[in-house]
Chain A
Amino acid sequence: MKSLLEFNGVTKRFGDFTLREVSFSVPPGYIVGLVGPNGAGKTTLMRLALGLIRADGGVVRLLGEDPAASRAAAAARARVGFVHDTPACYDYLSVERVAGIVAPFYPTWDSARFSRLLAGFGVPPKAKLRSLSRGTKMKFALALALSHRAEILLLDEPTGGLDPVFRDRLLDLLSDVIGDARTSVLFSTQLVTDLERIADFIVIIREGRVMFSGPKDDILDRWAVVRGGPELATELAAASRWGVATTRQGVEALLEDVEEARRLFSGKALVEKATLEDAFLLCREPSGKGD
């Protein structure tokens, strides 16, 4: 299975921030959720994927091409739909005028589909972008990204500013988009609930480092969260590769094998199957012990 997007040992330094040895891939026909707190490096990865910035080290491949390279990368971008975290651009122009600017760049642009999406999303085509709310601008950006039959969608926090009803609808739409088994989505978010519904793979990133990358079901089916008193801190720290977090009630840690966790901690601590929320909160550097 050839990946549509691949990061292999990618590093990038910006002042105090460093993206460190990031590796993961986006296979065709799947939704990959990129989740991490603010400043974790999600937008940096999206920009690397689009070739807006160059990696200091490692390899980025978008549809088989180096996105920061030349003509071939530009041609590859015709097969990519993207939504930036700040979707507003040319805000003094109307929705249809901006679409008129963007459409000619894409040979596969589907005007009828764009009109249908605008109508379905409730975006008024004659309205100027600056008169739209952030959520409606995001809907417009999504309509642009979805109207040229892209093979991969790079969506940087697309649910930001969206109301829960539309967010729900968008998630359904994305599930439909990958239904052809050739389109993929890389979807960054801070909302784990979004990923619970639609993601096939999860990448958890924190402070520029990938903490976990793999199938969502690995987390939901196999991982455990163990919660106990502070006296278990040392034992939990030895068992968990992520270290131990301190809470008001005691300590908690993430273990990668729920059966093993039960064997080790049943009777001494509460052992439960991990949720994505648990994974997001507890996947961290082991140096975070005692946080």
Chain B
Amino acid sequence: MRHLLAKDVRLVAPYLWMVVPVHALYSIQAFLNPELYFWMNLAAALAWTVAVTAIEWHLDADHFVAGLPVTRAAIVSARYVSAIGGLALGAALFVLYGHATAAVATERAAAHWQGAPSWATVDGVAAFLSIGFVAVAAFLPFFFRWGLPIGAALFSASAAVALSVGTAVARTLSGTTAAGEVLAGITGSLSWSEAVRGWLLALSASWGPWVAAPMVLAGAAVLGAASLRLSIRFYESRDL
């Protein structure tokens, strides 16, 4: 897997410089719309996570890589590791530019500031990584089963259906159960980033950070392992 990861780094190396200006441009959003700042950075981070996937798909290199002396399981695992690496890079830049923007902001600009620096906190980054990780873990099995264009389309459609149904169910349940009220509060705001951050903060408040953090990490590990296993199964049975 080491060689596969080295390959991924070499493949994206010519484009890596783009990361810096792209996230810098997004930091402008910190003055205008903190929510958008969060989502644009997350979108960029997700783009880095699928960069190698997209490059290899575009160049029709799948069969070349699978012809190398590596197992399909190793190819899939390496793709997960590089995707998580891309997400971590995006999160680091999200925090870095959040702080940098706060440091250089004038008093006048800060007056219009609606909270971008508040994202550059532990809970803000946790929300960033949580949403990004769920997106990666949900997307990659689609990719390994159907390839990039069809997989991305099916993933987008499935995500839209899941969010819509989830919102509808929550609103239907609203007022009828206590859980429904909570769900309706989250989904009704349509601010998923705030909702996830709020949920993480609530978890931390209930259990304490030293219990909540391992719980979240354990949940991520279970989700990641299930997603990885599914992807390996799909990719091993796919004709290239």
- The chain A residues found within 8 Å of chain B, CB to CB, are 47, 50-54, 70-71, 73-78, 80, 82, 84, 86, 88-93, 97, 100-102, 104-106
Provide the B49-78 mask, 1 if CB < 8 A to any CB of A, else 0: 000000100011101101111110110000
Residue of A nearest to B7 (CB): A101
In the complex, which residues of chain B have a beta carbon less than 8 angstroms from the beta carbon of A90?
11, 55, 59, 61
Provide the B150-177 mask, 1 if CB < 8 A to any CB of A, else 0: 0000000000000000000000000000
Residue of B nearest to A102 (CB): B68
In the complex, which residues of chain A have a beta carbon less than 8 angstroms from the beta carbon of B221?
none
Q: What 11 additional pairs, Cβ within 8 angstroms, besides A53-B239, A93-B14? A: A47-B239, A47-B240, A54-B237, A77-B67, A77-B70, A84-B63, A101-B10, A101-B11, A102-B68, A105-B68, A106-B69
In the complex, which residues of chain A have a beta carbon less than 8 angstroms from the beta carbon of B73?
70
- The chain B residues found within 8 Å of chain A, CB to CB, are 3, 6-7, 10-11, 14, 55, 59-61, 63-64, 66-71, 73-74, 237, 239-240
A84/B3 in contact, CB under 8 A: no
In the complex, which residues of chain B have a beta carbon less than 8 angstroms from the beta carbon of A101?
6-7, 10-11
Bound together, the chains give a CA A80 to CA B67 distance in angstroms of 9
A91/B59 in contact, CB under 8 A: yes
Question: A100: which of B10, B63, B70, B240 is its contact (CB, 8 Å)?
Answer: B10
**Could you tell me the distance in whole angstroms from the C-beta of B36 to the nearest C-beta in chain A?**
32
A84/B64 in contact, CB under 8 A: yes
Given contacts A71-B71, A92-B14, A101-B11, contact A51 B59 (CB under 8 A): no
B71/A70 in contact, CB under 8 A: yes
Bound together, the chains give a CA A79 to CA B104 distance in angstroms of 58
A89/B59 in contact, CB under 8 A: yes
In the complex, which residues of chain A have a beta carbon less than 8 angstroms from the beta carbon of B239?
47, 52-54
B71/A53 in contact, CB under 8 A: no
A50/B70 in contact, CB under 8 A: no
**Could you tell me the distance in whole angstroms from the C-beta of A156 to the nearest C-beta in chain B?**
11
**Could you tell me the distance in whole angstroms from the C-beta of B154 to the nearest C-beta in chain A?**
21
In the complex, which residues of chain A have a beta carbon less than 8 angstroms from the beta carbon of B64?
84, 89
A51/B60 in contact, CB under 8 A: no
Bound together, the chains give a CA A75 to CA B73 distance in angstroms of 14
Question: A105: which of B3, B14, B61, B240 is its contact (CB, 8 Å)?
Answer: B3
Residue of B nearest to A92 (CB): B14
